[in-house]
A and B are shown apart, each in its own frame.
Chain A
Amino acid sequence: MTQQTYSKAINQALYQAMELSSNVLVLGQLVDYQSGVFGTTTGLVDKFGTQRVCDFPVAESLMTSTGIGLAMSGMRPVLVHQRVDFMMYSLDAIVNWLSLMRFKSNGKLSLPVTIRAIVGKGWGQGPQHSKSMHAWFAHLPGLRVAVPATAYDIKGLLLESIFGENPTIIIEHRSLFSMTSEVPDIPYRVRFGEAVVRRKGKDVTIVAIGFMVPQALRAAEKLALEGIDAEVLDLRTISPLDEEAICNSVAKTGKLVVMDPAWKSIGMAAEVIALVSEKMGSNFKTKPARICYPNSHTPASSALEVEYYPNETSIANVIRSVVYA
């Protein structure tokens, strides 16, 4: 184990995957430059060459279709998008081809395509460089969606996805790229559909997704000083969703806050609350709450960014209101 940053963990996962199998390819804009998509692909081209580390034209739609074709011919491609927003050009390939190939082939053909897409935040990223869209993807049958929060998880989930058999979208929040955790040096797996309890507690369940995980943990730490003992559950993957882990925790605490780094309406936070309501009915001791972004596109101005993203105070206030309602 070594203490490693999120971006270095991605780089290591890609390097090791390409070493393990010559079927693994990396495609994306500028993946073969030294800057390497925020350091995540740096150095790969020196070892594996331009046929396998493939700088792609600014044609995201074709890139995704190319990934599908590669997988159909037996390869295991990893596609890289500098922003989720850029990937929107490839929705047809994802929705009409990638997600349903296994289905339409009557279960005969699975497509191990891994799509990495990065979410921007801060420095005025604005409305076309900051979207997450993970709930859209999780809505589709046939796709797996991961939103890893730690360096350990991103490496394990990336490897699991590359060497698994289903198409996968991995949403990586740019703000996490400098954060470190213990990362095993060898190639290892983190399984889909297994949430992890990051902090045990008995007063309230905080279900957190991706970039919200460190914020949830910080809030829990702060609230502990006031005598609130919060449990923080990191979903890690939202498709499949670890329903059991969510329900077990709520069964214990009876109170639920969901923190999702995305718009509030029709999103994952609503899905989690609906799931618990459906499975556990009136087990809620108080009304559940969602901590999300407003139903608005992202402003560029830093003055408005501050209003847009939940902060320590607003997060703690919502959790308190659920605990003391």
Chain B
Amino acid sequence: MNHGELLKMGEYNHLSIEGCSPDIIRCLYRFMLRLRRCQEALIKEYYPADEMRCPVHFCIGQEASPAALSLLLSQSDYLLSHHRCHGYYLAKGGSMNALFAEIYGRATGANGGIAGSQDISVHDLNFFSGAILSGSVAIAVGVALGFQTKALRSVAVTAFGDGATDQGIFWEAINYAVLRRLPLVFVCENNRYSTYAPLSKRQGKENISERVQSFGMNVKTVFGNDVALLYSVFSNAIEEAREGRGPCFIEAFTYRWNAHVGPGEDDYLGYRSVAEREFWKKNCPIALLEKQMVGQNLMDSKIKEKMIVEIDQEIATAFQFAKESPFPHLKEWSQLNYNIDTPQADRLLETIDSSFFDQNQKEAMPGPY
């Protein structure tokens, strides 16, 4: 599968909700709709309010992957995301209030306003993100190694874009996850572009999954706007990892509708074709699911209306919360950067003083190494 081939498909009509319970389908739908409306609301409010003063990477069009993960991870599982993280943050149970407040730079934000949109990291949720590409992919390896060492049944999931696979450390991570059979699931949302540059301009061959597979990794490539399919593929991968049967790499083909960064459009730059944009809008992850739900009487205009009212209420509350929250005030730079407590050392280590040192000793002379 690659982006060029997908465009030839026209309309995607393989989405099937047969394998999922109506409850799960409704949750997937609601999550995507909530994420979409929340992003749209932030975009609408960005310039008029002029109070969101940090780079924000919106994820309209890419709601399916976080939606599927939102139903599959428990609190003790870790989710490590890249910069386009709002969906994943919500998937791990992050509150919309704290998300908005973080973007507004307020003390009540998910990170007290210190991280901003692209670095949200909440230890209580075991959710982490960061802007440096592929950084959190590599860190996820360590989280999974920790689980394995402690023989825990927790799983680490890391979500990132195709851009991360340009980095050398990405391939180090793939190799090591296979070598150690780590409980780790890689989710690559291939939206074709790293900022404006298409994959074909950055990599010799458009076959990320194939190359990952050659490392001995279990690999799946999927149409990433089919949320039911993602749910089932993620569910299997997470289960396998949990049972100690090793890592999996999933490449989900999808598309970002909005600009790479910020609330506007960047299509005036001409880096994406009109046909391509139309293909992906036609295959909107929410619309594809909705069509199936309507067909099976799981959705009608009344249910949808009710959902929208609830979601919009939550969004309005989040704006109000963010705008009314205080800005953080500085306590002390040092304490923000260093932990001065040493509870473990206090408990385990003795204090003995000795400063005598005889300086008249020979230096160690290294041999050939």
Which of A's residues lie within 8 Å of B, judged by CB?
1, 20-21, 25, 51-52, 57, 59, 61-62, 65-75, 77, 92-93, 96-97, 100-110, 120-123, 125, 141-142, 144, 149-150, 152, 159-160, 163-166, 174-182, 184, 186-189, 196-198, 213-215, 217-218, 221
Contact assessment for A188 and B352 in the assembled complex, using a CB-CB cutoff below 8 Å: yes
**Contacts A68-B139, A163-B345 known; A104 to B114 CB distance under 8 Å?**
yes
Contact assessment for A72 and B366 in the assembled complex, using a CB-CB cutoff below 8 Å: no
What is the 8 Å Cβ interface bit string for chain B, positions 316-352, against chain A (1 contact, 0 not)? 0000000000000000010111110111110011111
Residues of B within 8 A of A123 (CB): 365-368
A106, B114: Cα distance in complex, Å: 6
**Contacts A101-B121, A105-B123, A184-B354 known; A73 to B345 CB distance under 8 Å?**
no
Contact assessment for B349 and A187 in the assembled complex, using a CB-CB cutoff below 8 Å: yes
Residues of B within 8 A of A180 (CB): 358, 361
Contact assessment for A57 and B368 in the assembled complex, using a CB-CB cutoff below 8 Å: no
Stretch at the interface among B49-57, B89-97, B170-178: B170-178
Contact assessment for B139 and A165 in the assembled complex, using a CB-CB cutoff below 8 Å: no
Residues of A within 8 A of B344 (CB): 21, 163-165
A72, B352: Cα distance in complex, Å: 31
**Contacts A70-B146, A103-B337, A187-B348 known; A61 to B138 CB distance under 8 Å?**
yes
Looking at the assembled complex, report how far the CB atom of B319 sits from the nearest CB atom of chain A, in whole angstroms: 22
**Contacts A59-B172, A93-B135, A159-B349 known; A68 to B357 CB distance under 8 Å?**
no
Contact assessment for B355 and A164 in the assembled complex, using a CB-CB cutoff below 8 Å: no
Of chain A, the residue at the smallest CB distance from B154 is A73
Contact assessment for B149 and A61 in the assembled complex, using a CB-CB cutoff below 8 Å: no
Looking at the assembled complex, report how far the CB atom of B277 sits from the nearest CB atom of chain A, in whole angstroms: 33
Residues of B within 8 A of A59 (CB): 169, 172, 175-176
Contact assessment for B176 and A122 in the assembled complex, using a CB-CB cutoff below 8 Å: no
**Contacts A72-B78, A102-B338, A188-B349 known; A179 to B142 CB distance under 8 Å?**
no
Residues of B within 8 A of A25 (CB): 149
Residues of B within 8 A of A65 (CB): 135, 138-139, 141-142, 169, 173
A102, B112: Cα distance in complex, Å: 12
A122, B362: Cα distance in complex, Å: 13
Contact assessment for A104 and B111 in the assembled complex, using a CB-CB cutoff below 8 Å: yes
Residues of B within 8 A of A104 (CB): 111, 114-115, 119, 121, 130
A196, B336: Cα distance in complex, Å: 28
What is the 8 Å Cβ interface bit string for chain B, positions 127-150, against chain A (1 contact, 0 not)? 010101001001111111111111
Contact assessment for B172 and A184 in the assembled complex, using a CB-CB cutoff below 8 Å: no
Contact assessment for A69 and B145 in the assembled complex, using a CB-CB cutoff below 8 Å: yes
What is the 8 Å Cβ interface bit string for chain B, positions 145-177, against chain A (1 contact, 0 not)? 111111000001000000000001100110110
Q: Given contacts A73-B147, A120-B366, could you give 16 more A-B pairs where the C-beta distance is less than 8 Å? A: A62-B173, A62-B176, A65-B141, A66-B145, A68-B142, A70-B146, A72-B139, A93-B139, A102-B339, A104-B111, A105-B111, A150-B357, A175-B363, A181-B358, A189-B351, A218-B360
A149, B123: Cα distance in complex, Å: 37
Residues of A within 8 A of B342 (CB): 160, 163-165
* Residue in contact with B130 in the complex, picked from A67, A97, A159, A188, CB distance below 8 Å: A97
- In this assembly, does B359 line the interface, its C-beta being within 8 Å of a C-beta of chain A? yes
A73, B351: Cα distance in complex, Å: 29
Looking at the assembled complex, report how far the CB atom of B292 sits from the nearest CB atom of chain A, in whole angstroms: 38
- In this assembly, does B261 line the interface, its C-beta being within 8 Å of a C-beta of chain A? no
Residues of B within 8 A of A120 (CB): 366
Of chain A, the residue at the smallest CB distance from B174 is A62
Contact assessment for B364 and A177 in the assembled complex, using a CB-CB cutoff below 8 Å: yes
A-B CB proximity, top 8 nearest: A69-B142, A73-B146, A65-B138, A217-B359, A106-B112, A178-B364, A66-B142, A62-B172
Residues of B within 8 A of A174 (CB): 364, 366
Of chain A, the residue at the smallest CB distance from B341 is A165
Residues of A within 8 A of B122 (CB): 105, 108
**Contacts A62-B176, A214-B359 known; A109 to B142 CB distance under 8 Å?**
no
**Contacts A103-B114, A123-B368, A189-B351 known; A74 to B345 CB distance under 8 Å?**
no
A74, B149: Cα distance in complex, Å: 11
> 27 A–B contact pairs at CB < 8 A?
A51-B148, A59-B169, A59-B172, A62-B176, A65-B141, A65-B142, A69-B141, A69-B143, A72-B146, A73-B150, A74-B146, A93-B139, A97-B135, A104-B111, A104-B119, A104-B121, A108-B122, A123-B367, A163-B344, A178-B363, A179-B361, A179-B363, A181-B356, A187-B348, A188-B350, A196-B355, A198-B355
